[in-house]
């Protein structure tokens, strides 16, 4: 970060908050909140000004008290608000000397909005109104005046005032809860304040208007964005875990409104299993006396790691107790385990500033792979990581408009935009690469060292590197700095020589080979070289590293070999077409030395390289054809995703689209014939997922018999109201096929499910399916339904599906433009709008689409989503260039293949 940006945006350092005493009264009836905050300050420099964050609040009764031998109180001589910077500056008549202990007291009032940020209101499926907070990254200032920067940690003592028939929650345990008695004692500041407040509102404490005061224990030092509280008529399910380090037993609860509470047992189970595993891995006991989860009907992101009070949307935590839906189970387990990881990785040790966000969010390697893999070993999560994070991050990071993992964040707009695939998935992928290189045991030991050295404190990149370096003995900064401080990643071009192989690294770009000015970085690349020895044993050399532009390695190329074994290194590998097919044939053998992860990486690399013009699409298609007898779900998932991408890019070329659809049907229909449509509790996880994937792949290819089977199952439901023929795993594809192949009646039938779903997963499946219509008149009704009847948090699913659907893709782009102001207003104050921008346009593939999209945004204020917009525009250009370059190649491959059959 430049020093000028730091001066412009970071708060002055003349004082440091050490403790907050926050009192907040929640009025769910009138959608308001108010309270008093007292902030203990250490004065670092002589000052007559205090600058802190505040936004959308009415402040009053401000006093500054200096404690000591000559204690004194001041009221500010001036109060200035900067709405743009979301700051308040108080000017005092006298200077406060350095070393003084000061106490700033401020009364505040605000509105409970539906903005999904700050302190906002949500509504249950039964119409019950409740309120909860979402402060990350910069929304604590919307609820109480504070020094709202992650570096400025302090303790928090929260007191909540609420109606007596509601439940109040916060980060820590409630120490006391009492019905408000105005005669209980004027010496109690909270009672005195509440008495005065209610009197000013003309309210008396009567039978119909009882209030209560809930006082929560003081928290450990933490950043403002992790503070949380909530108020409503919540119910809970409860469990506990026993610390393997201390033997202490801690209560664990999952809260929700009445309509959701019976669906939280699975999420609670995952939390119960994860906590002791994390304690062992980090060798640090969870420091709070409880860990709750609160499930909300309206939530901007998936979930939030507030210390002691995880919050998140229903689809991320709620599961029908009778459901065996593996996809939903995985999402819930993944979310819960990820957020629990943050209790250490982010909450105990917190990044100093948002430019190091990945130090918080790059932990999926632990939360979603190592720990969750201990709980559910049958889920093959090490392999699944490649699709969930590795491939996704490579696709995000192959643009000129990408950004480094460690990225400058000079203002709040930039902070909101970096919660993306680079801070999460690329960070997790390069940490996985490092873990593989040094060994998982040493990697986790290094993370433990890092956390112990920064207990309740803040950290920067070098702190994590030093911990892993201490545990492993390798020069971690030398290896890792370019992976997090530079944009992009390398493509390794592998050629064969008389004595082995020659490897050359260049920056990989989706637009094609990089120009010299964009190709300056030299990464330290663990090559993870797989060979087979004379006895037929697989040997993986993890010590071989490419830390220069190119190098040669001696090996016998006549035996099986491969670069990037296990697909652990964050790169693409380019082989000659004949070598790629040879590796593919070897990979297809039952006794292959190449793992699931190897086969996934081969497929993804082949298609990505063809998309960027490094190789031909025909080479990737030939590899796919070679792997047609593959048995593993995750490899088939890579194949389907990549073929679907080609179908999507060539959406306006009927000939190519039909060829790809036919290929999909040819590949996946035999799998459906083999696996059928019925799910059993005896099925392995891989069998369940492969069955679902095969049916989805076959319907993407419009396989007549698979489409008809699903239509008949939905028809049975329409006639009888009995949905027992639609297993939970097949809801998404069945509803989608019903709407895609049907008409108004099917659309109305799915809409009814969307309005009154049995559970969150069913509701999402139905809402997505409504956007699968091929009829533009029905598409208009879908849009109207979205704008009027769908929660803001769920618009993402429907907008995304309209964009994926070739029949509504351009309709979506035009509708976005027509309703830009309405959408902007719906997402005002949270960071979901940048994703709506991206998914509304990124599936377009023509030059005219690029020009029209760029023109539309030309005169608009795009500072809140500029990064996503730039990436989206570049994506359109890449797709357009791909169509021009590869149409004839695809056509020729299918023609020659047909002749050969």
Q: What's the 3-state SS for 708-755?
A: HHHHHHHHHHHHHCCCCCCCHHHHHHHHHHHHHHCCHHHHHHHHHHHH
Last residue of a domain, one of 229, 247, 271: 229
Please determine, for residue 770, whether its predicted confidence score (pLDDT) is greater than 60: yes
20 within some domain: yes
More confident site: 201 or 719:
719
The pLDDT, as a whole number, for residue 230 is 98
Closest C-alpha to 710, from 730, 690, 691: 730
Q: How buried is residue 774: exposed, middle or buried, by Cβ count under 10 Å (0-12/13-18/19+)?
A: middle
3-state SS assignment for residue 196: helix
Band of the pLDDT at 21, cuts 50, 70, 90? very high
259 within some domain: no
The tokens describing 635, both together, are 């490899």
Calpha distance 443→432 (Å, rounded): 9
The pLDDT, as a whole number, for residue 814 is 97
Mean pLDDT, rounded, of the chain: 93
728 within some domain: no
Q: How buried is residue 784: exposed, middle or buried, by Cβ count under 10 Å (0-12/13-18/19+)?
A: exposed
**Do 492 and 571 touch, CB atoms closer than 8 A?**
yes
Contacts with 159 (C-beta within 8 Å, 6 or more apart), sequence order: 21, 22, 23, 24, 190, 213, 214, 215, 216
3-state SS assignment for residue 757: coil
Give the mean pLDDT of 344-371: 88
The pLDDT, as a whole number, for residue 702 is 97
530 within some domain: no
Give the mean pLDDT of 328-344: 96
Calpha distance 470→327 (Å, rounded): 39
Percentage of residues in the chain having pLDDT higher than 70: 97
State the DSSP H helix or E strand holding residue 200, giving kind and residue range, or none if neither: helix 189-200
Strands 211-216 and 229-232, by their bridges, are unpaired
The tokens describing 36, both together, are 């008093």
Q: pLDDT (tens digit, 9 = 90+) per residue, 424-438?
A: 899 999 999 999 999
Calpha distance 344→451 (Å, rounded): 7
The pLDDT, as a whole number, for residue 3 is 41
CATH number at residue 118: 2.60.40.1730
Strands 349-351 and 457-459, by their bridges, are parallel
3-state SS assignment for residue 805: coil
Last residue of a domain, one of 451, 468, 485: 485
Band of the pLDDT at 170, cuts 50, 70, 90? very high
Calpha distance 599→642 (Å, rounded): 13
Give exposure, 407-426, as e/b (b: 16+ Cβ within 10 Å): bbbbbbbbbbbbbbbbbbbb
Q: pLDDT (tens digit, 9 = 90+) per residue, 623-680?
A: 999 999 999 999 999 999 999 999 999 999 999 999 999 999 999 999 999 999 999 9
**Do 401 and 410 touch, CB atoms closer than 8 A?**
no
Please determine, for residue 2, whether its predicted confidence score (pLDDT) is greater than 50: no
Calpha distance 359→348 (Å, rounded): 12
Calpha distance 690→255 (Å, rounded): 34
Angle between helices 795-804 and 809-818 (to 10 degrees): 130
Q: Is the dihedral of CA 340, 343, 349, 353 positive or negative?
A: positive
Closest C-alpha to 799, from 761, 821, 832, 831: 832
The Cβ-side half-sphere exposure at 832, using a 13 Å CA radius, reads: 25
Q: Cβ–Cβ contacts within 10 Å for residue 764, how many?
A: 21
Percentage of residues in the chain having pLDDT higher than 90: 86
Band of the pLDDT at 7, cuts 50, 70, 90? very low
The pLDDT, as a whole number, for residue 206 is 56
The pLDDT, as a whole number, for residue 357 is 84
Q: Cβ–Cβ contacts within 10 Å for residue 58, how many?
A: 11
Q: pLDDT (tens digit, 9 = 90+) per residue, 584-632?
A: 999 999 899 999 999 999 999 999 999 999 999 999 999 999 999 999 9
Q: pLDDT (tens digit, 9 = 90+) per residue, 466-517?
A: 999 999 999 999 999 999 999 999 999 999 999 999 999 999 999 999 999 9
CATH number at residue 467: 1.10.390.10
Give the mean pLDDT of 101-110: 96
The pLDDT, as a whole number, for residue 423 is 85
Contacts with 772 (C-beta within 8 Å, 6 or more apart), sequence order: 735, 736, 737, 739, 740, 801, 805
Q: pLDDT (tens digit, 9 = 90+) per residue, 285-313?
A: 999 999 999 999 999 889 999 999 999 99
**Do 363 and 274 touch, CB atoms closer than 8 A?**
no
Last residue of a domain, one of 453, 485, 517: 485
Closest C-alpha to 489, from 476, 474, 505, 477: 505
Q: Cβ–Cβ contacts within 10 Å for residue 276, how many?
A: 16
Calpha distance 454→287 (Å, rounded): 14
Please determine, for residue 713, whether its predicted confidence score (pLDDT) is greater than 80: yes
Angle between helices 685-700 and 326-342 (to 10 degrees): 110
The pLDDT, as a whole number, for residue 204 is 64
Alpha-carbon distances, residue 612 vs 573, 574, 608, 811 (angstroms)? 13, 12, 6, 28
Q: Cβ–Cβ contacts within 10 Å for residue 207, how many?
A: 5
Give the mean pLDDT of 822-829: 86
Band of the pLDDT at 186, cuts 50, 70, 90? low
Q: pLDDT (tens digit, 9 = 90+) per residue, 359-391?
A: 888 777 888 899 999 999 999 999 999 999 999
Domain of 118 in residue numbering reads as: 3-229
Band of the pLDDT at 252, cuts 50, 70, 90? very high
Q: What is the CA radius of gyration of the chain?
A: 29
131 within some domain: yes
3-state SS assignment for residue 702: coil
Q: How many residues does the chain have?
A: 901
Contacts with 485 (C-beta within 8 Å, 6 or more apart), sequence order: 404, 405, 406, 461
Band of the pLDDT at 208, cuts 50, 70, 90? low
Strands 291-296 and 309-313, by their bridges, are parallel
The 3-state secondary structure of 515-559 reads CHHHCCCCCCEECCEEEECCCCCEEEECCCEECCCEEEEECCCCC
Could you check whether the bond before residue 699 is cis, i.e. omega within 30 degrees of 0? no
235 within some domain: no
Please determine, for residue 202, whether its predicted confidence score (pLDDT) is greater than 80: no
Closest C-alpha to 691, from 672, 670, 710: 672
Give the mean pLDDT of 538-547: 95
The pLDDT, as a whole number, for residue 205 is 59
383 within some domain: yes
Identify the bridge partners of residue 63 per DSSP, sorted by sequence position: 105
Q: What are φ and ψ of residue 662, in 5° steps?
A: -65, -40
Q: pLDDT (tens digit, 9 = 90+) per residue, 256-281?
A: 999 999 999 999 999 999 999 999 99
Residue matched to tokens 């593939």: 845
Give the mean pLDDT of 870-897: 96
- In sequence order, which ranges of 551-632 are alpha helices (DSSP H)? 577-588, 596-611, 617-626
**Do 148 and 224 touch, CB atoms closer than 8 A?**
yes
Band of the pLDDT at 874, cuts 50, 70, 90? very high
Domain count, the chain: 2
459 within some domain: yes
Give the mean pLDDT of 843-852: 97
Calpha distance 323→817 (Å, rounded): 40
């Amino acid at each position: 970060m430049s020093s000028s940006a730091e001066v412009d945006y970071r708060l002055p350092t003349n004082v440091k908050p050490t403790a907050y005493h926050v009192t907040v009264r929640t009025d769910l009836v009138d959608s308001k909140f108010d309270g008093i905050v007292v902030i203990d300050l250490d004065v670092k420099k002589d000052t007559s000004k205090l600058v802190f964050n505040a936004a959308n609040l009415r402040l009053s009764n401000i006093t500054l008290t200096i404690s000591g031998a000559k204690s004194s109180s001041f009221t500010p001589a001036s109060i200035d608000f900067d709405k743009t910077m979301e700051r308040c500056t108080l000017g005092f008549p006298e200077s406060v000397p350095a070393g003084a202990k000061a106490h700033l007291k401020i009364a505040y009032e605000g509105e409970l909005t539906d903005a999904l940020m700050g302190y906002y209101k949500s509504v249950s499926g039964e119409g019950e109104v409740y309120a909860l907070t979402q402060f990350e990254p910069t929304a604590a200032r919307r609820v109480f005046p504070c020094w709202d920067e992650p570096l400025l940690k302090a303790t928090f003592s929260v007191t909540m005032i609420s109606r007596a028939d509601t439940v109040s929650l916060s980060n820590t345990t409630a120490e006391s809860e009492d019905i408000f008695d105005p005669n209980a004692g004027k010496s109690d500041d909270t009672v005195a304040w509440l008495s005065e407040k209610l009197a000013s509102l003309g309210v008396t404490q009567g039978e119909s208007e009882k209030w209560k005061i809930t006082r929560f224990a003081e928290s450990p030092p933490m950043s403002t964005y992790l503070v949380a509280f909530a108020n409503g008529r919540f119910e809970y399910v409860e469990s506990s875990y026993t610390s393997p380090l201390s033997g202490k037993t801690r209560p664990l609860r999952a809260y929700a409104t009445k309509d959701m509470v019976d669906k939280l047992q699975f999420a609670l189970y995952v939390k119960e299993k994860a906590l002791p595993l994390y304690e062992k891995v980090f060798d640090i006991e969870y420091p709070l006396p409880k860990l709750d989860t609160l499930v909300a009907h309206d939530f901007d992101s998936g979930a939030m790691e507030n210390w002691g009070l995880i919050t998140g949307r229903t689809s991320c935590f709620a599961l029908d107790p009778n459901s065996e839906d593996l996809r939903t189970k995985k999402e819930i387990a993944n979310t819960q385990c990820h957020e629990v990881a943050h209790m250490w990785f982010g909450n105990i040790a917190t990044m100093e500033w948002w430019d190091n966000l990945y130090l918080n969010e790059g932990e999926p390697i632990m939360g979603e792979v190592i720990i969750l893999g201990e709980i559910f070993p049958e889920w093959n999560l090490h392999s699944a990581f490649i699709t969930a994070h590795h491939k996704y991050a490579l696709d995000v990071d192959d643009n000129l408009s990408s950004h480094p993992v460690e990225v400058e964040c000079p203002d709040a707009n930039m902070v909101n935009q970096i919660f993306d695939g680079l801070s999460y998935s690329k960070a997790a992928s390069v940490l996985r690469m490092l873990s593989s290189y040094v060994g998982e045991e040493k990697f986790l030991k290094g993370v433990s060292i890092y956390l112990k050295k920064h207990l309740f404190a803040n950290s920067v990149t070098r702190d994590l590197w030093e911990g892993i370096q201490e545990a492993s003995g390798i020069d971690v900064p030398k290896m890792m700095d370019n992976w997090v401080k530079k944009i992009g990643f390398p493509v390794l071009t592998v050629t064969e020589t008389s004595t082995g192989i020659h490897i050359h690294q260049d920056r990989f770009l989706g637009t094609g080979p990089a120009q010299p000015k964009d190709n300056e970085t030299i990464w330290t690349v663990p090559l993870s070289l797989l060979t087979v020895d004379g006895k037929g044993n697989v040997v993986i050399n993890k010590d071989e590293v490419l830390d220069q532009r190119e190098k040669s390695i001696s090996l016998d190329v006549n035996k099986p070999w491969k670069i990037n074994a296990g697909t652990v290194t964050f790169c693409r590998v380019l082989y000659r077409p004949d070598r790629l097919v040879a590796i593919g044939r070897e990979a297809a053998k039952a006794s292959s030395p190449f793992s699931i992860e190897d086969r996934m990486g081969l497929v993804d690399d082949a298609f990505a390289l063809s998309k960027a013009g490094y190789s031909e699409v025909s080479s990737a298609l030939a590899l796919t054809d070679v792997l047609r007898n593959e048995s593993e779900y995750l490899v088939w998932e890579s194949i389907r995703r990549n073929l679907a991408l080609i179908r999507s890019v060539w959406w306006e070329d009927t000939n190519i689209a039909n060829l790809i659809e036919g290929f999909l049907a040819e590949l996946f229909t035999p799998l459906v014939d083999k696996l059928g449509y019925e799910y059993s509790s005896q099925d392995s996880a891989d069998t369940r997922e492969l069955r679902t994937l095969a049916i989805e792949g076959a319907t993407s290819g419009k396989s007549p018999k698979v489409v008809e089977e699903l239509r008949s199952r939905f028809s049975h439901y329409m006639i009888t109201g009995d949905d027992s023929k639609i297993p939970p795993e097949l809801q998404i594809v069945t509803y989608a096929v019903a709407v895609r192949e049907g008409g108004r009646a099917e659309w109305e039938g799915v809409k009814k499910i969307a309005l009154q779903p049995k559970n969150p997963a069913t509701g999402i499946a139905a809402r997505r399916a409504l956007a699968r219509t091929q009829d533009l008149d029905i598409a208009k009704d879908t849009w109207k339904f979205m704008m009027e009847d769908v929660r803001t948090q769920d618009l993402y699913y429907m907008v995304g599906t309209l964009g994926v659907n070739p029949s509504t893709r351009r309709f979506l782009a035009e509708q976005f433009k027509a309703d830009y102001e309405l959408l902007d207003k719906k997402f005002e104050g949270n960071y979901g709008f940048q994703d709506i921008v991206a998914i509304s346009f990124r599936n377009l593939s023509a030059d005219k689409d690029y020009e029209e999209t760029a023109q539309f945004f030309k005169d608009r204020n795009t500072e809140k989503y500029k990064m996503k917009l730039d990436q989206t525009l570049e994506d359109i250009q890449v797709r357009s260039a791909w169509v021009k370059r590869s149409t004839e190649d695809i056509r020729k491959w299918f023609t020659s293949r047909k002749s050969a059959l």
